[in-house]
Structure 1
Amino acid sequence: MPKKNLKLWFAPFVVLMMLVATGARAELPDFTGLVKDNSAAVVNISTTQKTESRRGGLPFDQRQLDQMPDFFRHFFEGPNGPGGGGQPGGQQQLNSMGSGFIVSKDGYVLTNNHVIDGADEILVRLSDRRELSAEVVGVDPRSDIAVLKIKGEDLPVVQMGHSSELEQGEWVFAIGSPFGFDYTVTAGIVSAIGRSLPSENYVPFIQTDVAINPGNSGGPLFNLDGEVIGINSQIYTRSGGFMGVSFAIPIDVAMNVFDQIRDHGFVSRGWLGVLIQEVNRDLAESFGLSRPRGALVAEVLPDSPAEAAGLQPGDIILEYQDHDINLSSDLPPMVGRTRLNDTVELLVLRDGDEKTLEVTIGELPEDRQMASENTPSPSPASGPLGLSVSALTDEQREQLSIQEGVVVKNVGPGPALDAGIRPNDIIRKLNNEPVTSVKDFNRIAGDLPKGKAVPVLVVRGGQSTFLVIKTGQ
């Protein structure tokens, strides 16, 4: 192709690429106005805690300090750092920092509970550099929310949004004080919603890739309308710093907690009274589900709303008040948000049939102490599943409040070992049939269908869980 023709062909292509690049830039959000409008209601929170010195007054352990860049490390160590001086064995002051935001003109402030936990003094610094002492109105460790109060009138406040309207992929931004650098703005997108973390299953966390670091905790997460839709709470990290995975408490959850603490001084949550587990592929097959979904009831707690409604171990909760339960983690937040004494409908799968149950929701009690079980002496494994069992002792029945079941004494090679059954497990159900005795267990085990996946309900360490046994051909 002649050079002249090549130039004629290439020129429109360059123009087109420039237009595409210009259009792409035009679609990126501009946060400048949003930051100006909302920064005044964001605050820095610093706390002081008096404690016995162990080694020079460091507020972080040495491993965390070693992982910090040299530029940051001097903020946290040494006699002039926030950790204070002090000699080993003497008294020192531990300082910590975090963020928060003002939610009412008369001075209510929201932050994380872990930001102020154990503090003897709490200082709130506003954007105009005023420093005000704060009192703790109330805390809710379960959701990691703390409500503070500062003295003031006509204070700047944030605008509240609705985290229930948040969508994956939506732009969000945070304002906070990472490493003590006040009013730092970071932005990103919503990576996922409804995340359940091991530390708390009553909070459906918002996952983002917004840069969150120590000091951001308790600060607001905004949408592009300038509304707060979350409270930055946790990061996932292997290095002590930001790795692209951050978690925020949905503002709908936080405001529910705030309203209860402000109005009543404490937080109540709905309680169903079941121990649940995820339905994996093998369990779905064994219960006759076309795909994994729902929350599998492993145990119904005594004197609970679930027991009164007739829920049974082995039921799979598919819907809660017409809301689908896709993952077991979907259920606890729904129950927790339900008002006490409200009656709700559950759609459950039982023995292959769907049925609707009505449950009157109670109040979530303190965490139950689970009893431990004694260890029976082993005996040779046998039977079609490759295990041996014995009857429950009176002591075991009393300790675990279990009247029926058998104790696994030994497990050899075979389906039971492959399923993860261990010595000292208590088998309460096999293939959805209650196990009342050793004779009963042997009968059910001998009648299991060949080449099928069947569920087995076991109690281990005081907790009930379903496993799947795959029988041989």
Structure 2
Amino acid sequence: MTIARKTRILLTTGAAAAIVAGAAAFLPTAWHSPANAATPPEPPATSSRAAAPVSSPAITGLPDFSPLVERYGPAVVNITVKQDVKTAMRGPPGMGGPDDDEQQALPFFFRGLPMMPRRQPVMGEGSGFIIDSSGLILTNAHVVDDADRVTVKLTDKREFTAKVLGKDRQTDVAVLKIEAKDLPTVVMGDSADLKVGQWVLAIGSPFGFENTVTAGIVSAKGRALPDDTYVPFIQTDVAVNPGNSGGPLFNLQGQVVGINSQIFSRTGGYEGLSFAIPIDVALRVQRELVANGHVSRGWLGVGIQGMSRELAASFGLDQPRGALVASVQPDSPAARAGLKTGDVIVEYDGQAISEASDLPPLVGATAVGSSAKLKVLRDGKEKLLSARVEQLADADTGTGKPDAADKSHASLGVAVADLSPEQRARLGLDAGGVVVTAVGDGPAADAGIRPGDVLLRLGQTEIRDTRQLRQLVAKAPADKPIPILVRRGESTLFLALEPLSRNG
């Protein structure tokens, strides 16, 4: 039988770092100064010629978490999941398969006959916490994914078979229900009140060690992680490992402020970077899962990207801010509201958009059918738009050599070609666009343009063909960056071209 602690790993390039699903629980506590702590000596007297240095108050003690653990530890549970996996059909012996030894153990007259497929149980572990005395439990969606049986174990050793009321992979939140009464529960806090530098506590089952307590501080808020569009994570340095997934994160007041979910690691274990789902996000998801069994999210129909300093300069912004609209889906709420590619969304329903990652959680949390006010920057001017939010429904690479590029595009350092009707049809383009067939040294390479990219727009002007691109390059400003819109695969994105030289 295989036992696995539930984890979710996303390898990155270079250092092969990983996002590993984990979880942790935190118990609230108060600052505590030991009664027998030594009194600091009085500072030496200073002469009238030297003023005493002014310093911030010293911390005279560390928090004692034991009262919090005693009070709220019983509300943290261990979750075991079982999944029955069918094994492949066995073939005859002597074919090099893994079942030869098993075949030889059979009586002679059974050997060589195909064996029936078997179910091999795979076990996994995680954590969770009780939010209602009647048996409602929060945990991570990845803890109970594909589970055939979910078992919840309390600190008093009682075990219950749990029903999965619902799970939401977008936020990695799941709600379980066990049939029990008068269970210990946690107290909910407000993750918006959490501050960087505050103490937090985790309780969970790392590597199967139940009710393990670890503590640390809040390292950052509002972190955006790959493939987690709708969660502004809380980053902590609390020790979290596989098996902690789904446990609560507590503040010093004894309130749950998050669900520990992931760690960033090169080894698969704790390295000081842990991430928790804000409890405000989790509770909103929980209410919808209990009421409807699924989560409804708002949808605008735009593709967005972040603003680098170079892109900000190319759009005339004094500093990077907002979400840059890289694409607008036809017949979407964004299209009907008048949003255009190249707009920079700086405010959504009264909330400032500092980073592109700020926008998706706000849109997702908007009630379907309601109207949202958007403040955008277009051609350096502010514009107010209104969008009616709808519900979110769950290129050939050319060849050639750089020195064969048309001299009219030498200042870009690319060779380009007009798109054929077949290429336009495949890309879904009615007209316009040129395909990059080769990239040499120059602004295009520095901006990240690749062979196979389709250039759609330079500055505020759509590119019709190679001849027009020549004219646009000739008129491009030589003293500031200029944005260029690129189609790459199924996505579009803006890149910033440094000031173009016309000496080529």
Q: TM-score, normalising length from structure 1? A: 0.84
Partner deviation per Cα, 1:156-194 (whole Å, 9 max, x = no partner): 211111112211111110111111111111111110111
Equivalent residue number for residue 71 of structure 2:
37
- Change beyond 3 A, Cα 1:13–1:162: closer
CA distance in 2, matches of 1:53, 1:241: 30
Deviation at 1:107? Answer: 1.2
Secondary structure in structure 1 of the residue aligned to 2:265: coil
Match of 1:381 among 405, 413, 436: 405
Q: How does 1:185-264 map to 2 (within 5 A)?
A: 185-264=213-292
Amino acid at match of 1:304: S
Deviation at 1:378? Answer: 3.8
Match of 1:401 among 425, 428, 436: 428
CA distance in 2, matches of 1:14, 1:190: 29
8 Å Cα contact 2:398-2:438 kept in structure 1? no
CA distance in 2, matches of 1:167, 1:13: 30
CA distance in 2, matches of 1:164, 1:294: 21
Amino acid at match of 2:149: E
Deviation at 1:52? Answer: 4.5
CA RMSD of aligned residues (A): 2.1
CA distance in 1, matches of 2:41, 2:440: 73
Partner deviation per Cα, 1:315-373 (whole Å, 9 max, x = no partner): 1111112211111111111111111112111111111111111111111123xxxxxx2
Equivalent residue number for residue 177 of structure 2:
149
Residue 51 of structure 1 pairs with residue 51 of structure 2: no
Equivalent residue number for residue 132 of structure 2:
104
8 Å Cα contact 1:170-1:190 kept in structure 2? yes
Q: TM-score, normalising length from structure 2? A: 0.79
- Change beyond 3 A, Cα 1:385–1:24: closer
Equivalent residue number for residue 415 of structure 1:
443
8 Å Cα contact 2:298-2:389 kept in structure 1? yes
8 Å Cα contact 1:451-1:472 kept in structure 2? no
Equivalent residue number for residue 376 of structure 2:
348
Amino acid at match of 1:261: L
8 Å Cα contact 2:170-2:229 kept in structure 1? no
Name segments (4+ residues, structure 1) moved above 3 Å: 23-27, 375-379
CA distance in 2, matches of 1:268, 1:295: 23
Partner deviation per Cα, 1:102-151 (whole Å, 9 max, x = no partner): 11122111111111112111110112111000011111111111111100
Answer with 455-464 or 297-306: which moved more: 297-306
CA distance in 1, matches of 2:296, 2:179: 28
Equivalent residue number for residue 331 of structure 1:
359
Deviation at 1:101? Answer: 0.6
Match of 1:391 among 398, 418, 421: 418
Amino acid at match of 1:37: R
CA distance in 2, matches of 1:239, 1:215: 15
Equivalent residue number for residue 211 of structure 2:
183
Amino acid at match of 1:15: P
Deviation at 1:53? Answer: 6.0
CA distance in 2, matches of 1:237, 1:413: 36
Partner deviation per Cα, 1:190-223 (whole Å, 9 max, x = no partner): 1011111002111111100011111111000011
Residue 308 of structure 1 pairs with residue 336 of structure 2: yes
Match of 1:274 among 281, 289, 302: 302
Answer with 24-33 or 298-307: which moved more: 24-33
Deviation at 1:90? Answer: 5.5
Equivalent residue number for residue 141 of structure 2:
113
Q: Which structure 2 residue ranges, 5 or more long, are not aligned?
A: 1-37, 44-56, 89-116
Deviation at 1:409? Answer: 2.6
8 Å Cα contact 1:285-1:453 kept in structure 2? yes
Amino acid at match of 1:472: S
Higher RCO, Cα 8 Å, sep 6+: 2
Count of aligned pairs? 418
Answer with 414-423 or 327-336: which moved more: 414-423
Amino acid at match of 2:84: K
Residue 317 of structure 1 pairs with residue 345 of structure 2: yes
Amino acid at match of 2:177: K
- Percent identity, aligned pairs only? 51
CA distance in 1, matches of 2:475, 2:59: 67
8 Å Cα contact 1:113-1:145 kept in structure 2? yes
Answer with 153-162 or 285-294: which moved more: 153-162
Deviation at 1:398? Answer: 2.1
8 Å Cα contact 2:82-2:124 kept in structure 1? yes
CA distance in 2, matches of 1:256, 1:358: 25
Amino acid at match of 1:397: R
Say which structure is richer in helix: 1
Amino acid at match of 1:235: I
Residue 447 of structure 1 pairs with residue 475 of structure 2: yes
